[in-house]
């Protein structure tokens, strides 16, 4: 097994724990399921006693240029009390969307091997004065960028 495979295979799990650690640091009551077979990486008990389910998705520095915040081929139907946390290592950005917000913002694949699956692309690309590609967060998603997890409190 090569190092790059081990890195990419473990990256998502490492970021899940990183994000959960940040949420714990902010005082959230987080519970991590032993099995992730329903798209739930973390369950949070809010102050009012209600529970919300969290799915964490991350993109590493190692993805090809232009894909720093592309989250593709996601299976999802509307769920109450369900949130996505999207993290881009290269852009150093985190977006939080509810299930409903995600469905409003995403695209649904109409053809190909991932027909019916959903995608969201939080970044765009442009070229600088020297012709180098630069990635940037798309401004239409700025309302979802967070620096803390107060939305879950």
Angle at 102 between CA 83 and CA 146, to 5 degrees: 60
pLDDT of residue 2: 43
pLDDT of residue 37: 78
How far apart (Å, rounded) are the C-alpha atoms in residues 123 and 121? Answer: 6
What's the token pair of residue 80?
């109450």
Percentage helix, strand, coil for the chain under 3-state DSSP, each rounded to 5: 25, 35, 40
Instruction: Chunk the chain into consecutive blocks of 10 residues (it has 153) and report each block's average pLDDT, rounded to whole numbers.
Output: 58 94 98 90 96 97 94 95 98 98 97 94 94 95 98 95
Coil, strand or helix at 48 = coil
pLDDT of residue 40: 96
């Amino acid at each position: 097994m090569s190092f790059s495979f081990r890195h990419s295979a473990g990256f998502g799990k490492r970021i899940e724990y990183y994000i959960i650690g940040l949420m714990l640091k902010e005082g959230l009551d987080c519970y991590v399921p032993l099995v992730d077979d329903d798209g739930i990486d973390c369950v949070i008990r809010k102050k009012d006693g209600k529970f919300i389910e969290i799915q964490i998705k991350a993109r590493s520095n190692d993805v090809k240029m232009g894909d720093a915040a592309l989250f593709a081929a996601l299976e999802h139907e509307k769920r109450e009390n369900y949130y996505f946390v999207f993290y881009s290592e290269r852009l150093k950005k985190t977006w939080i969307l509810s299930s409903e917000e995600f469905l409003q913002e995403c695209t649904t694949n109409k053809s190909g091997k991932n027909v019916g699956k959903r995608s969201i692309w939080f970044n765009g690309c442009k070229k600088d004065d020297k012709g180098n590609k630069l990635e940037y967060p798309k401004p239409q998603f700025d309302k979802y960028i967070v620096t803390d997890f107060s939305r879950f409190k």
